[in-house]
């Protein structure tokens, strides 16, 4: 065999051996990303809401806004003392979230009232968002939910003039154009009974009432950046908002109540 032929055969054998080795060696699996940092909230009970079943909170320049799940009244109170500053009666049904912005109240109506109060002509069995006058509570417009049904938290983004809401039937958070209720963006969420919703420093926070967890989320992808646990010893969480470095939440005293439930209370814990 000539030298050239021997070199060719040696190269072919070596190449075959390398290919066989590559076939036998499994492809390396991508590394599992580390879990997001998790901490337990240091909860402080502040004061009781003006009504018995607060289920929605919103931060505004003029105070803390509170929506009651049963009376369907909306209140504005002082952040430090809870002193009542303003109140309106609305035509909402099963108030489950509240946004303040663009000159209006935006109330998440989660459909039905579960026999918690006498029926009213404006009650409906389906979810919708009620747009109302913040001075009088008068209904301006009713919006159907573009994802079908199911809504709790809602918040107004001042810099973009858009609404964000929990789209329960599709397990997502939806950014909505308040002019026509088109969905502008969706991110997935993973938790039980997504409820309170608010923004802070470029991230969106979502409270999962049944899990007693709050997720800090990337608003572009839905990636969980941080998790905060609300301990079983603390009041039940429902509506939520963020103000001055603290996360505020309310205990409606309804829906899967725990032994530590404190109906009507507004609580808070440090955000950082």
pLDDT tens digit sequence for 149-189:
999 999 999 999 999 999 999 999 999 999 999 999 999 99
User: Average pLDDT, whole number, for the chain?
Assistant: 91
pLDDT tens digit sequence for 105-124:
999 999 989 899 999 999 99
Q: What band does 210 get if pLDDT is binned at 50, 70 and 90?
A: very high
Percent of the chain with pLDDT over 70: 89
Q: Is the pLDDT of residue 241 over 90?
A: yes
**What average pLDDT does range 3-10 have in this prediction?**
43
- DSSP calls for 103-124: TEEEEEE-S--TTSS---TT--
> What's the pLDDT at 150?
95
> What's the pLDDT at 6?
45
CA distances from 220 to 6, 20, 175, 201 (A): 60, 43, 11, 14
> What's the pLDDT at 32?
81
Task: Give CA–CA dist 202/182, Å, rounded.
Answer: 22
Domains present along the chain, CATH in parentheses: 39-270 (2.120.10.30)
> What's the pLDDT at 31?
76
> What's the pLDDT at 28?
62
Helix, strand or coil, per DSSP, at residue 41: coil
> What's the pLDDT at 56?
98
Q: Is the pLDDT of residue 192 over 70?
A: yes
pTM of the model: 0.88
Contact in structure between 84 and 77 (CB atoms under 8 Å): yes
- DSSP calls for 43-80: -EEEEE-SSS-EEEEEEETTEEEEEETTT-EEEEE-TT
Helix, strand or coil, per DSSP, at residue 16: helix
Q: Which residues contact 246 (CB under 8 A, 6 or more apart)?
A: 268, 269, 270, 271
Q: Is the pLDDT of residue 1 over 60?
A: no
Q: Is the pLDDT of residue 19 over 60?
A: no
> What's the pLDDT at 33?
80
As given in the structure block, the two tokens for residue 117 are 């109060």
Q: What band does 9 get if pLDDT is binned at 50, 70 and 90?
A: very low
pLDDT tens digit sequence for 78-93:
999 999 999 999 999 9
């Amino acid at each position: 065999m000539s030298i050239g032929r021997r070199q060719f055969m040696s190269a072919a054998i070596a190449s075959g051996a390398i290919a066989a080795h590559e076939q036998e060696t499994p492809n390396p699996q991508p590394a599992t990303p580390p879990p997001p940092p998790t901490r337990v909230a240091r909860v402080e009970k502040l004061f009781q809401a003006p009504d018995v079943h607060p289920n929605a909170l919103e931060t505004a320049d003029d105070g803390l806004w509170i929506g009651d799940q049963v009376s369907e009244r909306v209140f504005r109170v002082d952040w430090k003392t809870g002193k009542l500053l303003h109140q309106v009666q609305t035509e909402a049904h099963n108030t489950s979230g509240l946004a303040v912005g663009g000159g209006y109240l935006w109330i998440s109506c989660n459909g039905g009232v579960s026999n918690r109060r006498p029926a009213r002509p404006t009650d409906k069995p389906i979810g919708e968002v009620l747009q109302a006058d913040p001075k009088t509570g008068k209904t301006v417009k009713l919006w159907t939910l573009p994802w079908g049904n199911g809504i709790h938290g809602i918040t107004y983004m001042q810099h973009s003039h858009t609404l964000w809401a929990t789209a329960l039937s599709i397990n997502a958070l939806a950014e909505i154009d308040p002019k026509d209720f088109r969905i502008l963006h969706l991110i997935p969420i993973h938790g039980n009974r997504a409820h309170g919703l608010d923004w802070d420093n470029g991230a969106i926070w979502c409270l999962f009432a049944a899990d007693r967890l709050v997720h800090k989320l990337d608003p572009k992808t839905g990636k969980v950046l941080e998790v905060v646990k609300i301990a079983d010893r603390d009041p039940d969480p429902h509506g939520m908002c963020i103000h001055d470095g603290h996360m505020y939440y309310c205990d409606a005293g309804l829906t899967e109540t725990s032994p530590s439930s404190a109906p009507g209370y507004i609580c808070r814990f440090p955000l950082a």
